[in-house]
Chain A
């Protein structure tokens, strides 16, 4: 038998040879001191190389800027995993709760599973920034921390609207209509940020529980409290009434169970979903020609055309997508998710 080469010896060390090849190699090694030396060299190289690769461990992620008492600061594990947990939660929202469920009782036949606004926005965004699709679709955490003006995805036409102030979704003035609320964020006196939203949980119940346990209770209480304030001025309504107010159809996230539906001024309908740690995801919607549109003072939303999407950072970890669908409905998704995750949910509206 010819001498064994390094590739074969590597496969032998990695236990990747089939039984016959292994037997042949071992019998050759038993009789060949030269190949035994080479085997030891290969083994040493493997150890050295694996050790060098092992040096490249990802550095721990810094915690996002959080205003919370030091004593309640989550431990290193929770801080390292916050972004992972956020994505897992987005999967839970998009998939984990059963997006194959087909029991949406109120979706209307004229709505397509994928709103044209989404594909249009993506296509337009791709056309606008062909060289940076990933960067456009997946803003990094560092970007979230640094940016304080809305990023425009899609073909938003030139608009003179001032950038919205940073506002956590639960803190948005809930008494305003969708557009008022969105434009109202730019008004002086918009509520400042007073808390950092808790991190999203994992997709599985187990993961969700782990994250929920890691999140400080005081923070979750703050979020819940802020959520209640954010819904002040809204009243809870049933699905039938919501559909009536929207002119006969309602947009829902496919596969997610609405926690409640609220009606706000200007016939704004807010479908509230909840993630495992108990924070809210809002799907706001307003039909064309509704009371909110008539009463709207600042017309920036009117500048949005079907296919446009506006992405706004509404606070640390909280983001909002706004768009107008092909039927003229004004929609907004607000939650503690990345823009990518919000878009994933947006694609599953019915």
Chain B
């Protein structure tokens, strides 16, 4: 496959990559930093099949970052920082609450389910999802169905808990 110039890669995929990383990490700055790292690696090793490559590297970085965060207890700081930053004005309260609940629901998914869901949301077809995650193409439909179901169920649980608490 022909290698795409790095500048073109950036223009094509940066926005989508940052969005996926933001959805995965919940931290925009972190998402942008990770995206930068991904593109830096793409500069060093131009990929043949760029979209799955970029997103696979990004998801690997997220996983590594998560493991480091657990080791260092940084996750607590990040969560604190996120909640500080997310302190909404009243009129945005409902929307921010929904974001919080969706994020909490997403966190309950298994890693593979979450990744498949987020990649599908970026318009990946099953071949690309398989290439990115290493799953068999035949397993993508099942994984996606399970991920969607669990997300919706977890979200509804969160909503129920919230109403019960208020």
Contacts and interface: CB of A to CB of B under 8 A. Distances in A.
A131 interface: yes
B142 A91 contact: no
Given A56-B103, A95-B43, A131-B68, A88 B141 contact: no
Interface residues of A, number: 50
Main secondary structure of the interface of A (DSSP, over half): helix
Contacts, number: 154
A92 B39 CA distance: 12
Contact of A7 (B7, B105, B142): B142
B145 A96 contact: no
A240 interface: no
Interface in A309-344: 338, 340, 344
Nearest to A12: B141
A56 B7 contact: no
A134 B65 contact: yes
A338 B32 CA distance: 12
A203 B8 contact: yes
B61 A134 contact: yes
Given A10-B145, A134-B37, A138-B36, A84 B15 contact: yes
B16 to A, nearest CB: 11
A61 B33 CA distance: 13
Nearest to B14: A84
Contact of B37 (A57, A142, A340): A340
Given A10-B141, A45-B152, A56 B5 contact: no
Interface string B120-150: 1100011000000000000111111111110
B79 interface: no
Interface in B85-115: 95, 98-99, 102-103, 105-106
A140 B18 contact: no
B138 to A, nearest CB: 9
Nearest to B85: A59
Contacts of A57: 19, 22
Contact of A87 (B14, B99, B151, B155): B14
Contact of A91 (B43, B141, B155): B43
B117 interface: yes
Interface in A86-130: 87-88, 91-92, 94-96
B102 A52 contact: yes
A340 B36 contact: yes
Nearest to B35: A87
